[in-house]
Amino acid sequence: MSDKPSLVWLREDLRFDDNPALRAAADRGAPTALLYVLDDETAGEWKLGGAQRWWLHRSLEALQKDVEKFGGALILRRGDAEEQVADVAEKLSAGAVYWNRRYMPWQVEQDKAIKEALSEDYEVESFNGRLLNEPWEISTKSGDPYKVYTPYWKQVQQRDIRDPLPKVQKLDTPGSLPSSDDLEDWDLLPTEPNWAEGFEEVWTPGERGARKRWLDWLKSEGSEKYDEHRNRPDLDDTSKMAPHLHFGEASPITLYREMQEKIEDGEIPEAHGQSYLSELAWRDFSYSLLYHFPRMLDEPLMGKFKEFDWDKDDEAFEAWTKGRTGYPIVDAGMRQLWHEGHMHNRVRMITGSFLVKDLLIDWERGMKWFWDTLVCADPASNTAGWQWVAGCGADASPFFRVFNPVSQGEKFDPDGDYVRRWVPELKDMPTKHIHAPWDAPKDVLKKADVTLGETYPKPIVDHSQRRKEALERYQAIK
């Protein structure tokens, strides 16, 4: 064993538990430095959005505390990762450089280049710390990537997922350390206005926050009845692990294996537990699509949609982003997104469908808005989610299946509680009319203190007309 220090380049794996790169460093035994590089230049238009920058700041603060507890040293650098990693490795006089893999096309290229450049002077190794199965590990009989989820999931179920690696609890700190940026200087937190106040109420970024959320959720009705509750935004009962998974504060392997144990022990009913495992595998499936079809980041997977005649209605787009479309379930979702940096999955589908099929605005604009505002914004799941909603992706909902925002609201928010929470102007509307206030009799509106067009917007489009229009435009590209 060389006593030259190990350098672990952390990216979307900000944790000590089940972290293969960090584990390799701990097993190597030499003092260890952890490096995080904020590389906006290489990421270009995929640099972290506003909500994620808030998360990253809080997560790195939490990581620093863990480093103080478990040892090692955290070095922060900003700029081109290729230069920064090489510089830190050299100044540290490192013997080994380890990291866990990433899957965006430019990240794959960057990692290859760095590996090649560093391999001459250091031991360099990369690992899977992000997915249950890597994109190349699951394929059809003819060796092609899956484009349909069900057979993909069947294959995942036939494979063993390894046990989580033991948590790294002790690292030695290198004697002399290369310089580090001050996190505060990165200006990741919003100031004027501080739009992230609502985030602080909901989230605790960092590995400990992730663990607590997971254990609390496992004890709650949300996990016991997951498959029943997962479509109900009013119940707010899903695990909310997405941002923790995105930043790698929780390992999908740990969650998967622990859920399997709960099923085996009879603590979580099989159907509900399996449903959760299947959602974790959807995350992998999205990564598999991204890896094999990287063009999906900025073009529809179904080529014919390149010709679709989208509207460029900026006013309607703004009404959508601000939750002022006049459709209560859509507005509730968009306001939840702004306030919490999160939106329930069912409502992501409803708001997405409304943008694409009612406002006839290109899904890419919606995807970019989500990219900036979601704390869990993820290139694979966000792009795959939007292409699914727009009907132009792999295994997508067909374009002609247009969500009706009123009946979706009535079905999935049956008592109107989700709308009342996020659209307080409608809090006194009776349930019968809360999803379509424009149909309510005048005396009902008066009693609820609602004046359409004043206290709450009139619908900005007529759903049935726009549905017809959307289908006509679809015919033109079919």
Ligand X SMILES: Cc1cc2nc3c(=O)[nH]c(=O)nc-3n(C[C@H](O)[C@H](O)[C@H](O)COP(=O)(O)OP(=O)(O)OC[C@H]3O[C@@H](n4cnc5c(N)ncnc54)[C@H](O)[C@@H]3O)c2cc1C
103 known ligand binder: no
Which of residues 376, 392, 426, 434 is near ligand X by CB under 6 A?
A: 376
Among 37, 88, 131, 241, the residue binding ligand X under the rule CB under 6 A is: 241
Among the listed residues 6, 52, 110, 238, the single contact to ligand X using CB under 6 A: 238
Nearest-CB residue for ligand X: 385
**Cβ at position 370, least distance to ligand X in Å:** 6
Can you tell me the distance from the alpha carbon of 478 to that of 473, in angstroms, rounded to the nearest whole number? 9
Minimum CB distance to ligand X smaller for 94 or for 376:
376
Tokens of 357: 């099929």
Among 54, 214, 369, 370, binds ligand X (CB under 6 A): 370
Q: Is 328 within 8 Å of 320 (Cβ atoms)?
A: no
Which residue of 239, 321, 325, 408 would you call a contact of ligand X, by CB under 6 A? Answer: 239
Are 243 and 376 in contact by the 8 Å Cβ rule? The answer is yes
> How many other C-beta atoms can be found within 10 angstroms of the C-beta atom of residue 182?
7
378 sits near ligand X (criterion: CB under 6 A) = yes
CB of 229 to ligand X, least distance (A): 9
Interacting positions 250-289 with ligand X (CB under 6 A): 279-280, 282-283, 286
Cα 450 to chain centroid, rounded: 36
| 21, 98 Cβ separation under 8 angstroms | yes
Which is nearer to ligand X, 196 or 374 (by Cβ)? 374
- Is 276 known as a binding-site position? yes
Could you say whether residue 348 binds ligand X (CB under 6 A)? yes
CB-nearer residue toward ligand X: 54 or 122: 54
Residues in CB range of 460: below 8 A, 6 or more apart: 316, 319, 324, 325, 326, 359
> How many residues interact with ligand X (rule CB under 6 A)?
27
Residue type, 382: N
Best CA proximity match to 401, nearest among 472, 359, 353? 353
Q: Is 382 in the site for ligand X (CB under 6 A)?
A: yes
Preceding amide of 243 cis, omega within 30:
no
Binding mask 126-145 for ligand X (x = CB under 6 A): --------------------
How many whole angstroms separate alpha carbon 179 and alpha carbon 75? 7
Q: By CB under 6 A, which span of 38-46, 117-125, 312-320, 371-379 interacts with ligand X?
A: 371-379
Of 386, 422, 456, 474, the one binding ligand X by CB under 6 A: 386
Residue 240 binds ligand X (CB under 6 A)? yes
Q: What is the DSSP letter of 277?
A: H
Q: Does 246 bind ligand X (CB under 6 A)?
A: yes
- Residue 285 CB, nearest approach to ligand X (Å): 7
Contacts of 141 (CB under 8 A, 6+ apart): none
Please check whether residue 353 is in contact with residue 461, taking contact to mean a CB–CB distance below 8 angstroms: no
Buried b (16+ CB within 10 A) or exposed e, 221-234: ebbbbbeebbbbbb
Residues β-bridged to residue 71 = 171
Q: What's the DSSP call for residue 235?
A: T
Applying CB under 6 A, does 245 fall inside the site for ligand X?
yes
Judged by the rule CB under 6 A, the positions of this chain that interact with ligand X are 230, 238-242, 245-246, 279-280, 282-283, 286, 345, 348-349, 352, 370, 374, 376-378, 381-382, 385-386, 389
Binding-site annotation, residues for FAD: 226, 276
